[in-house]
Amino acid sequence: MIYLRLFWEFFKVGLFSIGGGMATIPFLTDLGERTGWFTSGQLADMIAVSESTPGPMGVNTATYVGFTIAGIPGGVIATLGLICPSIIVILIIAKFLRRFRQSKAVDGVFYGLRAASVALITAAMLQVAQIALISTGAAGTFAVNWIAVALALVIFVLIQFTPLKKLHPICFIALSAVVGIVLQM
């Protein structure tokens, strides 16, 4: 029964998270809260690892959650649940798009989907920023993680310089990993 639930929950995430990996974050947050499969802190860790490893973030996260809940079969089933909606939608669109590509209604739908994707990605960015920069305590109190804020500002300033813009993103990921390890010691 857990396999069916994993498939269904990740199928819903895949069905409604239009716009890529970052668009899945609000849905994954809700999934973690409803099922208790992972906390918001664990989700932040999964996002960090998924962003620094090959493959789509949503797929990496689904695989990890499925694996932790139900082993290798769970990882495979959760991943299939996440990608099935995309496959189905692509097949349907490919079938009908040729016929309706010049339609103003179809263009309007695609234009609206872009706005929805931007909204989902913005919501994801705000959630990740809140998790990374603000610590919540008892009774709804919160504290700003000034080290994280300072690091974010330093990285923002550094990427404004032209010589650093030419660096491969993996350099920034590796540097961030080293800084994170040093600060955790």
Q: How far apart are CA 31 and CA 43, in angstroms?
A: 10
pLDDT score of 132 more than 80:
no
What's the CA dihedral at 82, 37, 119, 115 to 10 degrees? 20
Is the distance from CB of 14 to CB of 51 less than 8 angstroms?
Answer: no
CA distances 39 to 56, 98, 119, 182, Å, are: 21, 44, 23, 24
Share above pLDDT 90 across residues of the chain, in percent, rounded to a whole number: 17
Name the residue type at position 99: R
The per-residue DSSP string of 114-152 comes to HHHHHHHHHHHHHHHHHHHHEEE-GGG-EEE-HHHHHHH
pLDDT score of 80 more than 80:
yes
Cβ atoms < 10 Å from Cβ of 152: 14
pLDDT at 78: 93
pLDDT digits (tens, 9 = 90+) for 26-38: 888 888 989 999 8
Q: H-helix or E-strand containing 172?
A: helix 169-184
pLDDT digits (tens, 9 = 90+) for 156-184: 887 787 777 778 878 877 887 888 788 77
The answer for residues whose C-beta is within 8 angstroms of residue 10's C-beta and 6 or more apart is 31, 62, 65, 66, 78, 79, 81, 82
Share above pLDDT 70 across residues of the chain, in percent, rounded to a whole number: 94
Is the distance from CB of 34 to CB of 1 less than 8 angstroms?
Answer: no
pLDDT at 71: 92
